[in-house]
Structure 1
Amino acid sequence: MTPPHRSSRWKEWSGIIKRDKRPLVGIIILLIFILGAIFAPWLTPYSPSSTEFTPLAAPSWHHWLGTTSSGQDVWAQFLYGGRISLSVGFFAGFIATALAVILGMLPAYLGGWIDTVMATFTNIMLVIPGLPLLIVITAYVHQTGPVTIALVIGLTGWAWGARILRAQTLSLARRDFVIAARLAGETQWRVLIGEILPNMLSLVVANLVFATIAAILAEASLEFLGLGNPTVITWGTMLYWADAGQALLNGAWWWIVPPGLAIALVGLSLSLINFGVDQVSNPRLRLNKVKVPKSRKGASS
């Protein structure tokens, strides 16, 4: 038997999808890329690192997205590269969101010198440009790989989310329901997790969405600049080798467009899903279509 809270959540999501198709479109797009990455060995017979094919061959029935200047199948690289690019994006996004929740909400709720110190540290992190900081860190880290890049992006990408969550926590901490929970004898952790955090669900999910998008873009940027491991196949290294192989000068558009378009579509899908999360956590944002009776229509005319 389905628990009541799960059935109510499902009804909310199904009602939102009926009224607003944007979350559904986002889920479909994201699932296509995730399933393509998971079932890559079944969707292509070629190895992404194999160099046995004709260099710079145009798309055909044998090679759906053509080949690279080294004779590698672009479709195989596209599928296998999505595994690492998506993994790095979501892993770094979760790290950045978790740090934003901990370093933004907890000091703001506790107040005092802890909040002052963390607010100052957050402002310092916001002043430092993100991409140059990533470039400096990855340049000094030996054996840079996908895991290292994900950790660096996650550990440096929490500041914006922490600042927003801190401001919202300071606002909610003064609300009547929080004060009532304190007077009822609830512990600080119970108030923070049970009362304040559920009312910030849309902000937390939005931070996860945009942190993931930023992480995918940052990973692609670092790989494109040659600061990652060029032997690991990702969407970023595909762009790196396309630039090194002068794909534009050779007219090999099929080598550049797929990874760039995939990064853009994944970002779009996450943004569309965020519309649905906002409507679940905040009913005032739901797009309710009010039906006007025919009698009123005739009277108004």
Structure 2
Amino acid sequence: MTAVILETSAPSLRRNFWRGVWRVMKRKPSRMFGVALIIGFALMGIFGPMLYPELLPRDTDAISAPPSWEHWFGTDPQGRDVTALVITGARYVLLSALVTAVITVVLGAAIGLFSGFKRGRWDSVLMRLTDMKLTIPGLPLLLVLSTVWKFGNPFQIGLVLGLLGWGGVARAVRAQTLSLRERGFIEAARGLGLSTTHIVGKELLPSMAPYIAMNTLIAVTGAVYAQVGLFFLGVLPYESNNWGVMLNLAVFQAGAMTTPSALGYLLAPLLAILLLTLGIVLVVDAMDEIFNPRLREE
């Protein structure tokens, strides 16, 4: 009888959860706008490059042309449409940011959960490893790796940034785990003799899921800033089209800071980064209210 009740209540709980999500999202139109922005960028990254040929056409009669109806943000010094460059360059930026976020959160959450739950020797070893990782300077390491890797593949830069960025997440998740491990339901699970894998995976992880989900979105923005900044500074080679390369070429090749006609070449990738960040911030604000009942408005 109890099993039947549990089976019938699970779908009901899921429906109630998604109804609550919908109520929170529609309470503020800005949150729906944030979701629309994220979906729009996701579609841009998936389907955007399919809308244009691999080699974008060049208009030799419009070199570094100002914005117009034909070219909304003007053209670059090679006569290519800046809007097309932003759209086709989104896949590299978003895919590498997603890879970075997944590696950062999965690795950091796994280490933080296990370390905070086990305590003792395991905690000391993993936290010393985390401290050592936090002391590794990322920029010099990327300078060395750039001599070996061309980073033309977004998975390469995503892998490196992810392996460099998990330390902070591990520390934060460990702190949350230390507070949760003293709760009654964890004590009961330990009293029943359940395995560490079961307690961490079935008891602690669901409680930490909202926090981990928000850290994933925040990690995406951090990864976007990191890679765009590295390409802009010229640390990474220009083997692919992305927003960081556009910013570098706009400033140092097209002279966008001093040439008004080339200003659109600089503003287009900046606007894309701003809108993506805005969408993530608005969704994170909604997630905080969804998963924290104390913040829900009546």
1:141 partner amino acid: V
Post-superposition offset of 1:266: 1.0
Q: How many residues align?
A: 286
Asked if the contact 1:105–1:165 (Cα under 8 Å) also holds between the matched residues in 2, the reply is yes
Cα deviations by residue, 1:138-172 (Å, 9 ceiling, x for unpaired): 33433222221111101100111110000111111
Q: Which residue of 2 aligns with 1:241?
A: 249
Residues 87-166 of structure 1 mapped to structure 2, 5 A cutoff: 87-130=95-138, 132-133=139-140, 135-145=142-152, 146-166=154-174
Post-superposition offset of 1:212: 0.9
Note closer, same or farther for the CA distance 1:21–1:180 as it changes in structure 2 (3 Å cut).
farther
Q: Which residue of 2 aligns with 1:265?
A: 275
Asked if the contact 1:47–1:76 (Cα under 8 Å) also holds between the matched residues in 2, the reply is no
Q: Which residue of 1 aligns with 2:4?
A: none
TM-score (structure 1 length as normaliser): 0.87
Q: Which residue of 2 aligns with 1:292?
A: none
Note closer, same or farther for the CA distance 1:198–1:221 as it changes in structure 2 (3 Å cut).
same
Residues 58-73 of structure 1 mapped to structure 2, 5 A cutoff: 58-73=66-81
TM-score (structure 2 length as normaliser): 0.88
Q: Which residue of 1 aligns with 2:284?
A: 274
Cα separation, 1, equivalents of 2:54 and 2:65: 16
Paired-residue identity, %: 34
Asked if the contact 2:75–2:81 (Cα under 8 Å) also holds between the matched residues in 1, the reply is yes
Cα separation, 1, equivalents of 2:76 and 2:128: 49
Q: 1:11 aligns with which of 19, 27, 30?
A: 19
Asked if the contact 1:38–1:83 (Cα under 8 Å) also holds between the matched residues in 2, the reply is yes
Which one is further off, 112-121 or 139-148?
Answer: 139-148
Cα separation, 1, equivalents of 2:252 and 2:217: 31
Q: Which residue of 1 aligns with 2:3?
A: none
Post-superposition offset of 1:282: 1.7
Q: 1:227 aligns with which of 221, 224, 235?
A: 235
2:214 partner amino acid: A
Q: Which residue of 2 aligns with 1:175?
A: 183
Cα separation, 2, equivalents of 1:133 and 1:108: 31
Q: Which residue of 2 aligns with 1:256?
A: 266
Cα deviations by residue, 1:51-109 (Å, 9 ceiling, x for unpaired): 33420111122212210111111011010011111111111111100011111111221
Q: Which residue of 1 aligns with 2:39?
A: 31
Cα deviations by residue, 1:211-236 (Å, 9 ceiling, x for unpaired): 11110111101111223341411111
Post-superposition offset of 1:128: 4.2
**Partner SS state of residue 151, structure 2:** coil
Cα separation, 1, equivalents of 2:228 and 2:147: 18
Q: Which residue of 2 aligns with 1:76?
A: 84
Cα separation, 2, equivalents of 1:27 and 1:89: 18
Asked if the contact 2:150–2:239 (Cα under 8 Å) also holds between the matched residues in 1, the reply is no
Cα separation, 1, equivalents of 2:144 and 2:249: 23
Cα RMSD (Å): 2.2
**Partner SS state of residue 31, structure 2:** helix
Cα separation, 1, equivalents of 2:54 and 2:99: 26
Q: Which residue of 2 aligns with 1:286?
A: 296
Post-superposition offset of 1:243: 1.9
Cα separation, 1, equivalents of 2:151 and 2:166: 21
